[in-house]
Amino acid sequence: MSQQPKVLIFDSGVGGLSVYQEIEARLPQLDYYYLFDNAAYPYGELNRQTLIERVDSLVSSMVAKHQIDLVVIACNTASTIVLPSLRSLLTIPVVGVVPAIKPASNLAHKAVGLIATPATVKREYTHELIRDFSQNKPVELLGLTRLVDIAEEKLRGLPVSLEELHQLLAPIANKVDVAVLGCTHFPLIKEEIQSVLGEQVLLVDSGEAIARRVQELLSIEKSNNIEGIKEIYSSATPWQEEALNIALAKLGFNPVRPFHLEL
């Protein structure tokens, strides 16, 4: 049997699992390795050089240890900062994620809402995307750290308060007809966001585009005959680990393993 390609998905938390689900649906036969750097979570609060050094060290170490064939940086904050450095370090493809401003502006009739972390909303890269691809449509920016925590909580079995979501999303409610989920955590609570914003608002994220890009780079077709391995690692002991492992088992992963690196 020919060996299947190995894909590493990297994020500061569990948000990248939304990207994993899109890639895995397209290519279930791959071997998937997921590493989340929860020791330094949230990434939006790290200074630039610290972030580059952490991601370079963690990712290159995982790539060497598991002979990874392709890396997905499933974090908007990390993608906008570390990709040039990481690509110069590695000889394999590195795929990043950016907020789906371009497709959203093509789909919007009224206005686009960008729901992201405060760091992504402030970043110059985001404003360049808006200038380049959404000149004809107004973009309402909403930076929310709390949504990231809600998504992390949901994956550990805690209920999502729709009342709290209503309050958080109120600044863009009734103003937009397309909303970009500009953080990989947010598709994990897509149903709840949709119910709060209403069915008239189309929600857009980058997951499917990343999955298509991974398939292009690996040049392989879907195979349902093989089930790849799925391993997940964290840089610190995750909170509510038992509840998290139950959720991860449903996605096909083994329990979380520690991955320590002297930085």
Ligand-binding annotation for 184, yes or no, is yes
Q: What is the model's pLDDT at position 68?
A: 98
Record the tokens describing residue 149, joined without a space: 């925590």
Q: What is the model's pLDDT at position 31?
A: 97
Residue 38 has pLDDT above 80, yes or no: yes
pLDDT band at residue 225, thresholds of 50, 70 and 90? Answer: confident
**What are the residue ranges spanned by the domains of the chain?**
6-97+208-258, 101-205
Residue 2 has pLDDT above 80, yes or no: no
CB 204 within 8 A of CB 178: yes
Active site residue ranges: 75, 183
Ligand-binding annotation for 109, yes or no, is no
Provide the residue type at 231 as one letter: E
- Over residues 68-94, mean pLDDT: 95
How do 202-204 and 178-181 pair as beta strands? parallel
Residue 70 has pLDDT above 60, yes or no: yes
DSSP class of 32: E
- Over residues 199-222, mean pLDDT: 96
Ligand-binding annotation for 185, yes or no, is yes
Question: At the topology level of CATH, where does 101-205 sit?
Answer: Rossmann fold (3.40.50)
Q: What is the model's pLDDT at position 262?
A: 59
Q: What is the model's pLDDT at position 226?
A: 87
The segment with the largest mean pLDDT, out of 131-135, 216-220, 238-242, is: 216-220
Ligand-binding annotation for 91, yes or no, is no
Residue 263 has pLDDT above 60, yes or no: no
Instruction: Spell out the residues 6+ positions from residue 53 whose beta carbon is closer than 8 angstroms to its own.
Output: 263
Rg for the chain (alpha carbons), in Å? 18
Range 127-153 burial, b when 16+ CB lie within 10 A, else e: eebbeebbeebebebbbbeebbebbbb
219/237 Cα distance (integer angstroms) = 36
pLDDT band at residue 1, thresholds of 50, 70 and 90? Answer: very low
Ligand-binding annotation for 44, yes or no, is yes
Sheet (strand 202-204) strand order: 139-143, 112-116, 178-181, 202-204
Q: What architecture (CATH level 2) is domain 6-97+208-258?
A: 3-Layer(aba) Sandwich (3.40)
Residue 129 has pLDDT above 90, yes or no: yes
Q: What is the model's pLDDT at position 42?
A: 85
